[in-house]
Amino acid sequence: MKAARMYGKGDVRVDEVPDPDVGSGQVMLTGGYAGICGTDLHLFDAPESFPWDLAAPAPLTGASWPVILGHEFSGEVSEVAPDVTRVRVGDRVAVFPYHVCGECPR
Q: What is the pLDDT of residues 46-62, one digit of tens each?
A: 988 888 787 888 877 78
Full-model pTM: 0.76
State the average pLDDT over residues 69-82.
92
Question: Across the strands, what pairs with 28?
Answer: 79
- DSSP for the chain, please give it: -EEEEEEETTEEEEEE-PPPP--TT-EEEES--EE--HHHHHHHH-GGGSSS-TTSPPTTT---SSEEP--EEEEEEEEE-TT--S--TT-EEE--TT---S-S--
Residue 3 near residue 15, CB atoms below 8 Å:
yes
pLDDT tens for each residue of 1-40: 899 999 989 999 999 999 999 999 999 999 889 888 888 8
Residue ranges of domains in the chain: 2-94
Superfamily of the domain at 2-94:
Medium-chain alcohol dehydrogenases, catalytic domain (3.90.180.10)
